[in-house]
Amino acid sequence: MLVAATVFGATLTSCQKHVERANLRNAKDTLSYALGYTKGVSIANSIKREIPDGDSVVNKTIMIAGFINGMNGDKINSQLTDEQARQIIQDYFKDLENKRVLAENDAYQKTKDSNNKLMEEYAKEEGMKALPKPEKYDGPAVLVKELTVGKGDTIGVNDYIYTSITQKLPGGKITFQTGEGDYRMLPVKGLIQGLQQAIRTLKPGSVANIVVPSELGYGRQGMNEVPANSILLFDVAIQKVFHNEKEARAFWKQECEKRNLTKAAEAQNTEVLGAPQNRVAPTTPAAPAAPKAAPAAPVAPAAPVAPAQ
């Protein structure tokens, strides 16, 4: 488009580095300069945020000429109509977004292929079992190796578990843990989808290793110390299971008093207990949203509870 070349095609022209100092003779001049300066800073910041390599894409001299035409409402001397100007900007950002998505999809596909091979290796471990895949999901299955078989009823989706848990990346980096011998009260419904599915195959007293594919974990967005598209490894030990919130709250309060936890720690975990609807993990293999505060004892990183819907 010829008009696009007028605005963006002249980017090879060097920008003015020096502007003659304004002569601020009176209050009107000073106000005018202040308005121009603050608007200039605002526009410069917008370009830095929204346009990669803005200095090489935008010719400041031509942009200022357009700004002056726009300020004056000079449609006669303007080289673009309002509609043309809006369309050029829309086309530019649409093209920019398309390039970003293509790059992201390419990186995702490479990571996905690597993750699939790694999940296949984990599946070969002795005692590892693959769980049924969720509906409309064709990625790798969640894997569970039960080291100690629990007793009683299988854990339900509306239950609360008193558990110790460690979350790791395949390289061994720990991204969350309750601490050795330390337990937390967590709502099953509030866990990330893959971990929730695995927990629901266990019973009170179960100790297990769990492998969650990225699509059923934090997906393309990642979470805190967990990079995007990460497989997650969990070591869990389920000490107790509660079937309702009231019992879970009462037991957790007793534990806080017994372990002399701070009031802040008690309040934070109690809030999570009563708010499984404010989860931080998706219920389908979609990208998760921003996380809510994780349950905590004295000091700990974010737990594998799910991003708020």
Residue 205 or 271, more confident: 205
CA distance 68 to 218: 48
Q: How confident is the model at residue 287 (pLDDT cuts 50, 70, 90)?
A: very low
Mean pLDDT (the chain) is 79
Beta strands in the chain (DSSP E): 129-130, 143-148, 160-168, 174-177, 184-187, 207-212, 232-242
- To the nearest 5 percent, what fractions of the chain are helix, strand and coil? 40, 15, 45
- Among 176-180, 193-197, 203-207, 227-231, which is the least confidently predicted range? 176-180
* CA 39 – CA 254 distance, rounded (Å): 58
Kindly tell me if the per-residue pLDDT of 68 is higher than 50: yes
Return the top range by mean pLDDT from 71-75, 163-167, 180-184.
163-167
Question: Is residue 13 pLDDT above 80, yes or no?
Answer: no
Is 299's pLDDT higher than 60?
Answer: no
Residue 143: per-residue pLDDT: 97
Question: What is the reported pTM?
Answer: 0.61
Q: What is the DSSP letter of 40?
A: H
Under 8 Å between Cβ of 224 and 302: yes
pLDDT value of position 265:
57
Answer yes or no: are the C-beta atoms of 185 and 269 closer than 8 Å.
yes
**How high is the pLDDT of residue 11?**
33
Residue-wise pLDDT tens digits, 141-175: 999 999 999 999 999 999 999 999 999 999 899 99
Tokens of 245: 């919130």
Amino acid code (one letter) for 274: G
